[in-house]
Chains A and B, each alone.
Chain A
Amino acid sequence: MAWFRREKKKIGGQKRDLPPDVWTKCDKCGEILYREKLADNLDVCPECGHHFKIPPDDYAKLLLDNALEEEHDADLHSVDPLEFVGPTPYADRYARAVRQVGRAEAVLTGRGHVDGRAVLFGAMDFRFIGGSMGSVVGEKIARATERAVERQEPLILVSASGGARMMEGVLSLMQMAKTSSALGRLHKAGLPYISILTHPTTGGVTASFAMLGDVIIAEPGALIGFAGPRVIEQTIGQELPDGFQRSEFLLEHGAIDMIVPRPALKDSVSKLLGHMVDGST
């Protein structure tokens, strides 16, 4: 093992000689990629098809006609309801995330259009405390869902999350019930909800709104599950097989409807909405 680690460092050393803003290395195949070209390819490695993580704004751009036309609830922010005392105070960790990401929370919500059809849209930001769901994320998702019911428009959510935000304790757990109840109303109203799962989506987000789509689409190779692989390995005392809890595994086990590479996402969503809501019956 140690020998391999040293070898990896050498490659890293090589990489540092490249201008870091121009080049990047694929996490999966190790290919050195020209950043601009990678961006043109929607951050999908042209060599191996690996999907890099992208921020919620990028999903808004690639799924919606004119990106997000109005953003909702951008000022909602966490107030550290438990005054959580950890090794790093939650308030500090939160402030750092806000500075790093330039947004008040781990989800972006608003309204836009998909091929001319108005939709309510939300996308999560894994960079923001692991895309964890606390009171604000739950509230924004619930509001987006309720707006979809009010306006009689479809809902599209892009998930990326490590689960519930433990620094908000049981209040974060309750967001699972809150968002799922709101989706119950959307369901009763006969409106479509398309859930898009990206790498990684686990824990409380998977066990609530992410798995409740009328149609669930996953990007290729995304880790999607209830428990994280490390927790499972500790519980069962053995290593997990390759590909366990990846999109392809979920499709095979009937847990999701389809796997769609990023460049084809909008087309799939648009076709589905066409079947679900357009025209006469």
Chain B
Amino acid sequence: MASHEEFERSIGDVVAQIGKLKEMASSGGLDVETELKKLESRLAELRAETYANVTPLEQVQIARHQQRPHSLDMIERIFTDFIELHGDRGFRDDPAVVTGWGRLAERSVMVIAQQKGRNTKGNLKRNFAMMHPEGYRKALRMMRQAEKFRRPIISLIDTPAAYPGIGAEERGQSEAIARNLLEMSLIETPILVAVIGEGGSGGALGLSVGDRIIMLEHAIYSVISPEGCASILWKENTEEARSKAAAALKLTAPDLKRLGVIDELIEEPKGGAHTDWDGAAEILSEALQRNLDELRSLPVDQLLQGRYEKFRAMGVWGGGE
């Protein structure tokens, strides 16, 4: 069954016990009903307890959880008629980002989604959802297409970072991200951003200039990973330094809501989205529809003014009165 992180090991134990019990019941015809019920209620309790008191570093582990639903898992459950489109028309197709048309409650939308792999093979293909410049350029091409046909854009964010490699630098990683930031601020159609897993720095931001930013409860969004921050500031990558860095960076959804960086925190099914993909998709789908309905009702000039003011207001400083 699912792999479990250190902090949820006791959950893993109960899950394993339930699995064994079910196996015994099916093979031996034993009546395990009472025992099963007991264990299941214990599991629910444990999950509620564990997830109510996670530390910021544990929050990071949940956001990166191996069993967490990824973009395509969400797309499959939320959109109908999904048709994937490929390539930046310049260099290649970047599989770290999936783009294409889909229907949300019958209406067409352009979906831009960062895609992680579920195993080694998948991650080799998807490059751990770390995009190259051509990925950002592909996404921009699709956003222009959405603008042309006056359809809204939904951006699903789940990446550790933009890829730091030789080819990425040669082909202008920084320009590709910068260009998206500028162009997204001017695109004349609603842009709705949902952070569903990891919002990794510039790699995430390059697809995240939108009219609304919504975020799943256990997702994170940060300027740098706790590992990176720990090794730069604490000069060590120990559990303790990572834990301090994760807390200092204020990267959890409730923190980001307080800081005014996100508009809405979407509660996940108890125990996290990774325990209930269908439930998580249903909750996300409702939030996407509701926000999109509101954005669709705005005239374009008001939409763009609002988008500008949203990012213009971000940051905290003193002086200048």
A177 within 8 A of B: yes
Task: With A207-B177, A226-B169, A232-B165 as known contacts, state yes or no: A81 contacts B316, CB within 8 Å.
Answer: yes
Q: Is the CB of B232 within 8 A of A75?
A: no
Q: How far is the CB of B134 from chain A (nearest CB, A)?
A: 14
The segment from B31-39, B57-65, B307-315 that touches chain A is B307-315
Residue B244, interface by CB 8 Å: yes
Residues A54-108 near B (CB distance < 8 A): 73, 75-79, 81-82, 84-87, 104
CB contact under 8 A between A166 and B169, given known A135-B316, A184-B186 = no
In the complex the two chains form, is B174's CB within 8 Å of A207's CB? Answer: yes
Is A173 a contact of B205 with CB atoms below 8 Å?
A: yes
Q: Which residue of A lies closest to B229 (CB)?
A: A166
B186 touches A170 (CB 8 A): no
Are B173 and A184 in contact (CB-based, < 8 A)? Answer: no
Q: Is A182 an interface residue (CB 8 A)?
A: yes
**Docked-complex contact A170 and B259, CB < 8 angstroms:** yes
Provide the bound-state CA to CA distance between A185 and B182, in Å: 9
CA distance A167 to B234 in the complex (A): 12
CA distance A200 to B105 in the complex (A): 49
Which residues of A sit under 8 angstroms from B96, Cβ to Cβ? none
State whether the Cβ of A154 lies closer than 8 Å to any Cβ in chain B.
no
A175, CB-defined interface residue at 8 Å: yes
Is A198 positioned at the interface, with any CB of B under 8 Å from its CB?
no
Closest chain A residue to B208, Cβ basis: A177
CB pair B223–A164 under 8 Å, yes or no, is yes
B250 lies within 8 A of A170 (CB): yes
CB-nearest residue of chain A to B247: A85
Q: A166-B249, A177-B185 are in contact. Are A75 and B169 (CB under 8 A)?
A: no
Contact indicator A170/B251 (Cβ below 8 Å): yes
A236 to B250, CA, bound (A): 29
Q: Which residue of B lies closest to A254 (CB)?
A: B172
CB distance A177 to B311 under 8 Å?
Answer: yes
How far, in angstroms, from A208 to B170 measured CA to CA in the complex? 17
A226 to B179 CA separation, bound complex (whole angstroms): 13
B-contacting residues, A234-257, CB 8 Å: 235-236, 240, 244-245, 253-255
In the complex, chain A residues whose CB is within 8 Å of the CB of B307 = 181
Among residues of B, the one whose C-beta sits closest to the C-beta of A85 is B248
For residue A136, CB closer than 8 A to chain B, the reply is yes
Q: Does B261 interact with chain A (Cβ within 8 Å)?
A: yes
The answer to whether B319 touches A225, judged by C-beta atoms less than 8 angstroms apart, is no
User: Is A180 touching B317 in the complex (CB atoms < 8 A)?
Assistant: no
A194 at the interface (CB under 8 A from B): no
- Name the A residues within 8 Å of B314 (CB-CB): 135, 138, 171, 174-175, 177-178
Q: Mark B157-193, 1 if CB is under 8 A from A, else 0.
A: 0000011111011111111011101110110000000
CA distance A177 to B251 in the complex (A): 18
B319 touches A181 (CB 8 A): no
0 or 1 for each of A11-55: is its CB under 8 Å from B? (1 = yes)? 000000000000000000000000000000000000000000000
CB of A2 within 8 A of chain B? no
Size of B's binding interface in residues, CB under 8 A = 57
* Size bin of chain A's contact surface: 35 or more
Residues B250 and A178 in contact, CB atoms below 8 Å apart: no
Contact in complex: B178, A212 (CB < 8 Å): yes
Is A85 touching B202 in the complex (CB atoms < 8 A)?
no
Q: Is residue A176 within 8 Å, beta carbon to beta carbon, of the partner chain?
A: yes
> Is there an interface contact between B259 and A181, defined as CB atoms closer than 8 Å?
no
A248 CA to B205 CA, complexed, in Å: 28
Q: Are B315 and A175 in contact (CB under 8 A)?
A: yes
Q: A73-B320, A139-B317, A227-B164 are in contact. Are A180 and B185 (CB under 8 A)?
A: yes
- Pick the residue among A166, A177, A227 that contacts B173 (CB under 8 A): A227
Q: Which of B172, B232, B261 contacts A255 (CB 8 A)?
A: B172
B256 within 8 A of partner (CB): yes
Task: Assess whether B209 is in contact with A225, with CB atoms less than 8 Å apart.
Answer: no
A128 located at the interface, meaning its Cβ lies under 8 Å from any Cβ of chain B in the complex: no
B162 touches A226 (CB 8 A): yes
A204 contacts chain B at the CB level, 8 A cutoff: yes
Q: Which of B166, B171, B202, B249 contacts A232 (CB 8 A)?
A: B166
The digit string for B202-223, where 1 denotes a CB below 8 A from any CB of A, is 1001101100000000000111
In-complex Cβ contact of A174 among B164, B171, B179, B315 (8 A): B315
- A187 at the B interface (CB under 8 A): yes
Query: CB within 8 A of A170: which of B172, B232, B256, B312?
Result: B256
Residues from chain A with Cβ under 8 Å of B209 in the complex: 177, 180-181
- Bound CA–CA A121/B9 (angstroms): 56
> Are A226 and B170 neighbours in the complex by a CB distance under 8 Å?
no
Known interface pairs A170-B222, A174-B261, A187-B182; 15 further A-B residue pairs with C-beta atoms within 8 A, sorted by A's residue number: A73-B320, A78-B318, A139-B317, A164-B223, A171-B314, A172-B223, A174-B311, A174-B314, A177-B185, A178-B315, A180-B185, A181-B182, A207-B178, A208-B181, A226-B162
Closest 8 CB pairs of A and B: A135-B315, A227-B164, A180-B181, A81-B316, A181-B185, A75-B319, A206-B174, A174-B314
24 contacts between A and B (CB under 8 A): A75-B320, A78-B318, A79-B318, A81-B259, A85-B247, A135-B314, A135-B316, A169-B251, A170-B256, A170-B259, A177-B314, A187-B182, A188-B186, A207-B173, A207-B178, A208-B178, A211-B174, A225-B169, A226-B169, A226-B202, A232-B164, A244-B169, A254-B172, A255-B172
